[in-house]
C-alpha cells in the first residue's frame, strides 16, 4: 500500500447559506468560486433560528 505525504483535509470547499442551502461547492481540484452574500436575509434567519438570540459577543483578551 502506497502512502502519500499530500495534505489531507483540503478541497471540497463550499459556501453554505445560514439555513443550510449549498450555494456553491467545489471538488478536490483547484478552483475558485465567487459568492454574493445577501445580508438582508439575516433578520429572517435569526427569527427562524431562535437559538441565535443567545449569541454573545466575546472580546479577545489582550496580551
Q: How far is CA 17 from the centre of its chain?
A: 8
In a domain, 32, yes or no: yes
Domain that holds residue 38: 14-54
Number of domains into which the chain is organized: 1
In a domain, 62, yes or no: no
In a domain, 5, yes or no: no
The strand pair at 14-16 and 22-25 is best described as: antiparallel
For the entire predicted model, the pTM comes to 0.57
In a domain, 31, yes or no: yes
pLDDT tens for each residue of 7-58: 677 778 999 988 889 999 998 888 899 999 888 988 888 888 877 677 777 6
- For 49-57, which contacts have Cβ atoms below 8 Å and span 24 or more sequence positions? 49/18, 49/19
In a domain, 63, yes or no: no
Amino acid at each position: 500500500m502506497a502512502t502519500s505525504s499530500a495534505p489531507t483535509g483540503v478541497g471540497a470547499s463550499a459556501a453554505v447559506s445560514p439555513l443550510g442551502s449549498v450555494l456553491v461547492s467545489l471538488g478536490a481540484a483547484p478552483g475558485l468560486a465567487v459568492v454574493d452574500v445577501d445580508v438582508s436575509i439575516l433578520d429572517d434567519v435569526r427569527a427562524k433560528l431562535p437559538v441565535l438570540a443567545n449569541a454573545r459577543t466575546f472580546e479577545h483578551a489582550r496580551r
